[in-house]
Amino acid sequence: MFKAIVINKDDKGYRAELDQLEESALPAGDVRVRVQYSTLNYKDGLAITGKGPVVRSFPMVPGIDFAGEVLESTSPEFKVGDAVLLNGWGVGEGHWGGLAQQARVKADWLIPLPKGFTAKQALAIGTAGYTAMLCVMALQKHGVKPADGEVLVTGAAGGVGSFAIALLSKLGFTVVASSGRPQEAEYLRSLGAAEVIDRSSLSEPGKPLARERWAAVVDSVGSHTLVNACAATKSEGAVAACGLAQGMDFPGTVAPFILRGVTLYGINSVTVPKAKRIAAYEQLSALVDLKTLDAISHEISLGEAIQYADALMKGNVRGRVIVDVNR
């Protein structure tokens, strides 16, 4: 038997509960893992609270990432005792995920636990930090340099935003953080933000083109915020979009793209090829200060995850939430 958060939708309604399950209940896969840590992400919040159509089949165990130890494997790639990490691939949505003490998944979805990180540290980074790194890699590929000017990070106090600030600052960029939580200004500056602006300056309908300010943008918010960020991006600048906290709509025009040559990069962290995942974690290993992980993250128990999911959806959670599934 093992503990898991289980989401059901039936005659009793939509609900998430902490439950005890048999190993035989696990879905198909060629690697069974003893999960040590998972995390609570925005997508997990949507799934647990039912505030978004994330879950595609029921019952479902949420948790879009996890780290743990291989218990059983029919894949030549992994053996019993191997330390492994998973981000994405639809776990917690269409396949049982990491908010449980055990998981069974496809070997292709796993990578070895990155060198230099414990399981807890890897999950302090989690999908949010890994996604932030993919955003930064897109800007690097575009050729954006610190000398080009300020980089805007929206949704700055969230997991992706927090990591984006820390990573970009470490690389020498001048980072401007946009947040709707003025009380987090000191926290954001401690991560490396040179300036903190109120999200209201970006979240309302704006002009097709605004004064050029940003050399680049990392956006986890979407909707009007993304549109306004694009409108104020400098000629030949780049915007990396990875989230939809404000909405998945894009109520804007093509003006920034055809009049200024702005490039919009869509960041999909779910189905990234294994080699690129490993490359992202190699950069994270070089850039992430372990003290920063402590500042960005805090730990909860599996039993607390349902309550925290509601707080996350209300915008009351800072940074990363690590879930120790064994307490």
H or E stretch covering 316: none
Tell me, yes or no, if the pTM score tops 0.85.
Answer: yes
What is the average per-residue pLDDT within 246-252? 96
Q: Taking the domain 2-113+291-324, which CATH number applies?
A: 3.90.180.10
State pLDDT tens for residues 180-231. 999 999 999 999 999 999 999 999 999 999 999 999 999 999 999 999 999 9
State pLDDT tens for residues 18-56. 999 999 999 999 999 999 999 998 899 999 999 988 999
180: nearest Cα among 272, 302, 308, 314:
314
Q: Taking the domain 125-266, which CATH number applies?
A: 3.40.50.720
Q: Which DSSP string do the residues of 56-77 spell out, in sequence order?
A: -SSSB---SEEEEEEEEE-STT
Provide the residue type at 326 as one letter. Answer: N
* Boundaries of every domain in the chain: 2-113+291-324, 125-266
- The pLDDT, as a whole number, for residue 195 is 98
129: nearest Cα among 285, 315, 316:
285
85: nearest Cα among 45, 114, 56, 58:
114
What is the average per-residue pLDDT within 57-76? 97
